[in-house]
Structure 1
Amino acid sequence: MTLAVQHLVGGYSQIPVLKDISFQVEPGELVGLIGLNGAGKSTTINHIIGLLTPMKGSIALNGVTLAQDPQSYKSQIAYIPETPILYEELTLKEHLEMTMLAYGLDQEQAWQRAHDLLKTFRLANKLDWFPANFSKGMKQKVMIVCAFITNAKLFIIDEPFLGLDPLAVHDLLALIATVKAQGAAVLMSTHVLDTAEKACDKFVLLHAGEVQTQGTFAEIKANYPDAGESLNDIYLSLTGVTRDE
């Protein structure tokens, strides 16, 4: 499943936030969409998942756009938002059942995956809990489990590290590695650049709604040899941001 974003211009009003954004995410690849707050990461994601309509440009999954085939397009995507979105009147078990129905999953296979994921994220004994009983980190884990029980070909993960404890971050990265090995594409937005540098195969560096550069870390470092040794240093150098700002 190849995600192709071509010359995307868009935003929330008549003034575009995104200015001619282009990049691809290939099967078996984790691409880090990185940048500081306000760089345009979440706006880009909102266009990809269909919450916003591009002013110009196109977004396609294996050549198919949302307008051409909404059901096929959306069924290929699993999305984990930055802020967990759960239904207060549904238990964890009911959230999982709703996800299985929405994606048309085989119940037996989906529950097998669900039980494995619930054990991994230490939620196995909380199937009858309601969202009011969960901490923010636990709510985020519920979103992760719901996303990864699907057969999605493209996983979109928005700022996953902020509410997770170190063990959960490790488990999430291991889970991403597993779906990558199965051929899924993963787009992950984050401004936690130290973790992104270690985990991602490629990067798209956004600043002020524009792509500053993209490629593997080795490629970016080779293109900007004087910018620094770490992804964080390179990003700050390219965007003209100092550590005192």
Structure 2
Amino acid sequence: MNTAPVLQITGLSGGYSLNKPVLHDIGLQVQPGEMVGLIGLNGAGKSTTMKHILGLMSPHKGEITVQGKTRSSDPEGYHSALTFVPESPLLYEEMTVREHVEFTARAYGVERSDYESRTGQLAALFNMEDKMDTLSSHLSKGMKQKVMIMCAFVARPALYVIDEPFLGLDPLGIRSLLDFMLDLKKSGASILLSSHILSTIENYCDRFIVLHRGKVIAQGTLAEMTEAAGLRGLNLEQLFYELVQGGK
């Protein structure tokens, strides 16, 4: 069994300006079949970390590997091993839902039979069956978010990077998404999930990474973090408050 991390970040510092880095010596990893919650206040560095993983920003120093590959050594292998769900949906207005999903499947080299079965499953799961031939410009924000999720999940890469996916989703959509991520995890996929809804992700993520002011201030299971902080018995939301506001 392969126990090497799917995502490995070592000594990552970076940001929008060389003189004012947002991230400071970030170190984290995501193992095969693991869902990890990346949590922090607004401006803590969550989205900046994800942009570095995606290759939208270049590190000032440090290294990021996905399945042992770096963007510089094997850009195609690196990017084909991950997919991304952004916080705000970004779609082509004159393309239908079906065209978006098929376009993504083609980009990832998904076989036609797999594309068709997965598309049918995802459309049913997110109640989008009657919207598949609708232009994205005619969709609500929540439906647009569902299209982004469907595009990400029609592929089967090793790593899913998901940024605040619950915004705009209805309660049924949130539950469907969480249950589907659990199924992906059981199949061996790895998920790095950023969310402010701590009460929702507490029971779904295997481990958590707490970012504060661009630094990792805690990481591990909820039990491990509460033990390390001397705050046994707290739920994730209570622990997070104590870590970022209580000075622990």
Superposition TM-score, scaled by structure 1 size: 0.95
Equivalent position of 2:181 in the other structure? 176
Cα distance between partner residues in 2 of 1:228 and 1:18? 30
Structure 2: tracts of 5 or more residues without a match: none
Residue identity over aligned pairs, in percent, reads 48
SS in 2 for 1:105: coil
Cα distance between partner residues in 1 of 2:239 and 2:59? 30
Q: Deviations over 1:7-66 (max 9, x none)?
A: 100111121000010000001100000011111100000000110000000000122101
State the 4+ residue runs in structure 1 displaced beyond 4 angstroms. Answer: none
Which residue, 198, 207, 214 being the options, matches 1:202?
207
Equivalent position of 1:79 in the other structure? 84
Which residue, 6, 14, 19 being the options, matches 1:2?
6
SS in 2 for 1:198: coil
Check the 8 A contact 1:78/1:155 in 2, yes or no: yes
Deviation at 1:196, TM superposition (A): 2.0
Structure 1: tracts of 5 or more residues without a match: none
Within a 5 Å distance, the mapping from 1:1-245 to structure 2 comes to: 2-14=6-18, 15-226=20-231, 229-240=234-245
Cα distance between partner residues in 2 of 1:78 and 1:226? 36
Deviation at 1:130, TM superposition (A): 1.0
Deviation at 1:227, TM superposition (A): 7.3
Cα distance between partner residues in 2 of 1:206 and 1:173? 22
Q: Which amino acid aligns with 2:10?
A: Q
Check the 8 A contact 1:113/1:149 in 2, yes or no: yes
Aligned length: 242
Q: Which amino acid aligns with 1:102?
A: A
Check the 8 A contact 1:8/1:21 in 2, yes or no: yes
Cα distance between partner residues in 1 of 2:213 and 2:172? 33
SS in 2 for 1:86: coil
Q: Which amino acid aligns with 1:26?
A: Q
Superposition TM-score, scaled by structure 2 size: 0.94
- Greater alpha carbon shift after TM alignment, 220-229 vs 41-50: 220-229
Check the 8 A contact 2:223/2:232 in 1, yes or no: no
